[in-house]
Structure 1
């Protein structure tokens, strides 16, 4: 192979601008996923089938279809079907947030089912109404138990944010593609892009592993 590597041709300024956009998309999607995911989990656990069914279909749709298809569908079909026109960043946040909400709901549902009945009984004894029991007992307990999964899902959505490049959002991947086209250095450019994604994701995966080990020690 006669290829000569030249990493000096890779300009970091556009990549850093793209990284900021990627982080903004991931942060907004995580806020939506953490909050809406818990509400969705409660709806999935409704004793009424007529309430559960549409939300079960929502979860299964986002879990069983590719994220790329979801992003493209929301970008192109939502404006045509519902006459709703939003800026690309908002549409990107919506697509990623809905995807993350579906996955977080399943994590919350498992944690909610594991909340000790004694804690709920104590809340009833203290005179807390159902809403107060959810907010002061169920949510804190389920959230703590779900943190490792929520972090894992959060870093996955950061990685999946690269898919919004296909709809021309100037995220890290989009800037990388543009730079590779301009410099004719795709190997160097996409290697740097991959390393940036790794540099952001790896510390979070280590935190998840630490939390998992700590939880296993506390459980033993």
Structure 2
């Protein structure tokens, strides 16, 4: 291969990359916050004994888990304004689309965590006279969150990667800025390699954190 790498064309492009990186971080952080909170609420509703509450939530989960996230993003950006005459800024719309997708996946992670809570703990709650919201807040949430944490973090990494898909609807995230630089300079190999490295460096610490939680869980189960 006689291709000569040349990164000098990136001189003066740092502002564009930082601007795109900031948008990517906003999408990732806000959508993760949305997914972590709403995922637990959706999980409780999907596990409700009331069918009229349980079935729509289960349908929501299956829809977002069984359709491509790219299709969901495009639908939110183009169909919602047409159907409902609602116009939201691109970053908020991206957070909404990514956050609802993550909510569905996190709901399943929480469900597995809740099912792992020993029945004796629920019996103890009844014996202590705790109300339902007290059981949920003080017993179910802490234990299910601890069990689901590795999956929640992994889902968070996946969401950060999927956030690059908003570039297709012209949201000026890191991927979009990288594409603009690559087109202007006609140096796609160097540009996309740099973008990949940035995503890798952002995801690597979280990946190590997942391993830490998994080791702690394995150690706790062996006691």
What TM-score comes out, normalization by structure 2 length? Answer: 0.95
Q: What's 1:102 paired with?
A: 104
Q: Does 1:38 align with 2:40?
A: yes
Q: What's 1:9 paired with?
A: 9
Q: Does 1:19 align with 2:51?
A: no
Taking the aligned partners of 1:124 and 1:89, their CA distance within structure 2 comes to 45
Q: What's 1:168 paired with?
A: 170
Q: What's 2:81 paired with?
A: 79
Taking the aligned partners of 1:201 and 1:12, their CA distance within structure 2 comes to 20
Give the 3-state SS of the residue equivalent to 1:158 in structure 2. Answer: helix
Give the 3-state SS of the residue equivalent to 1:24 in structure 2. Answer: helix
Structure 1: 5+ residue runs without aligned partners? none
Q: What's 1:55 paired with?
A: 57
Give the superposed CA RMSD.
1.1
Structure 2: 5+ residue runs without aligned partners? none
Taking the aligned partners of 1:128 and 1:204, their CA distance within structure 2 comes to 36
Which sits farther off after the overlay, 176-185 or 101-110?
Answer: 176-185
The alpha-carbon deviation at position 122 of structure 1 amounts to 2.0
Aligned pairs for 1:64-143 within 5 A: 64-143=66-145
Q: How many residues align?
A: 220
Give the 3-state SS of the residue equivalent to 1:85 in structure 2. Answer: coil
Which of 155, 158, 163 lines up with 2:157 in the alignment? 155
Structure 1 stretches (4+) deviating beyond 6 angstroms?
Answer: none
The alpha-carbon deviation at position 84 of structure 1 amounts to 1.4
Q: Does 1:213 align with 2:197?
A: no
1:162-208 CA deviation, whole Å, 9 max, x = no partner?
A: 00011111100000001111111111000000000000011111111
